[in-house]
Structure 1
């Protein structure tokens, strides 16, 4: 875990050097609060989900993934309604489906299937097969994906500090897996 923390610190030091001076200190404070809340949620979820699934060996991972998706659908609809109210007040987006509705719906269906349902199905399967403490460490790959998206969006390669941090993140997970395997 210390290796993972060092990796996150290095990558974030690289990102902090790229901060946008046009943003206020309040923006960064709120962003930090939301990020910490997300870390709490993504620490709690894999541990709780793993324990819950291990207590119910008869429940299929796919069934649980579908149940989770159906339970979150009303929340997604509420979020979409809130976004609609926001965009109506602030403009800037052709709500609810954008300028190209077919493309938007197709992309949302693809994301819903791949990221939400398939991702949850595979995560539930991993939660059943691996110890909860190890599953929690594997969430680091979501952090790595976020960094990859940021670099792609910027159209730039990560600097040496970020690359060392990424290597430490991956190395920390490998060390965690080896510790659980006893090697």
Structure 2
């Protein structure tokens, strides 16, 4: 139990790094950070693809098309929205919004698959949803107060950041549901091979995205030194670090935790990612969170954990 919990903590600390990149590279467009991160991850996935080459060879054309869709929306588009949101609204609010993902996914699954997997009782979910909304509102209030105190702050930019964070949640709500559909439809296929296939599919998409960005900046005459920007060594190193530590090692640690802990407990421990990302954001700011921010974080954590404790009711069997 303790080893599994430590693995989950390590995964959260590593996954929290994806929220740091946009803060450390504010002058780099979110789109460039997204394609660069997954270009690095795709290159890291190539040795794994060689190890799983027999399983990959069994995938059909339709399977590879599905892997491309999952990679495009769950990887590239998700991180594009997330990085852009953090650059516009700062770290805390987008992190809090992303922190609702476990509950948003559960609610969407409840709406879509309740007849198959069992319904989550809405009345039991309601208190948790209220806690989560209150937590986000608390953090939003603190961030808005800071904006009002700064006459040069762009409130429209902050609002756009919040909208982009919601779009990121939408992408990563679609991804696990669609991914689970494929795994259910192919029970004889290896989940590891399927994960590797998505990593491989990410590589050509990231290459194409990088090329389009490079060409678009050249045509528009953008004042940005492609291909690696004004800090090439730091940019390349950070993208490979995030690709290796967050995308690969973080997932490996999470899988180790999932093998050792009950599924219900693992779902609750995903809050480690949110807490780590918030801690990194305030460390980079060089300040301690305000008391209202701490209260909002506590409300979010309690809301997510309490929501994940709600058990689905078994689906009613149709009468024969």
Could you say whether these structures have the same fold, taking a TM-score greater than 0.5 normalized by the shorter chain as the test? yes
Note the aligned Cα RMSD (angstroms). Answer: 3.6
Which of the residues 289, 292, 316 maps onto 1:158?
289
What residue number does 1:12 align with? 140
Structure 2: stretches of 5+ with no match in the other structure: 1-127, 314-320
Larger radius of gyration between Structure 1 and Structure 2: 2
Equivalent residues in 2 for 1:26-105, closer than 5 Å: 26-84=156-214, 85-86=216-217, 89-92=221-224, 94-98=225-229, 101=232, 104-105=235-236
May I ask how many residue pairs the two structures share in their alignment?
176
TM superposition score normalised by structure 1: 0.71
What is the CA-CA distance between 1:162 and the residue it aligns to? 0.9
Q: Does structure 2 retain, via aligned residues, the 8 Å contact 1:4–1:169?
A: yes
Structure 1 residues 81 and 30: CA distance shift in structure 2, 3 A: farther
Structure 1 residues 170 and 26: CA distance shift in structure 2, 3 A: closer
Deviations 1:70-127 (A, max 9, x none): 22223322333344343883325x432356655543432222122223445667896x
Deviations 1:2-40 (A, max 9, x none): 122222221222222222543445423433332221121
Looking at both structures, which has the greater relative contact order when contacts are Cα pairs under 8 Å and sequence separation is at least 6?
1
What residue number does 2:50 align with? none
TM superposition score normalised by structure 2: 0.45
Q: Does structure 2 retain, via aligned residues, the 8 Å contact 1:65–1:120?
A: no
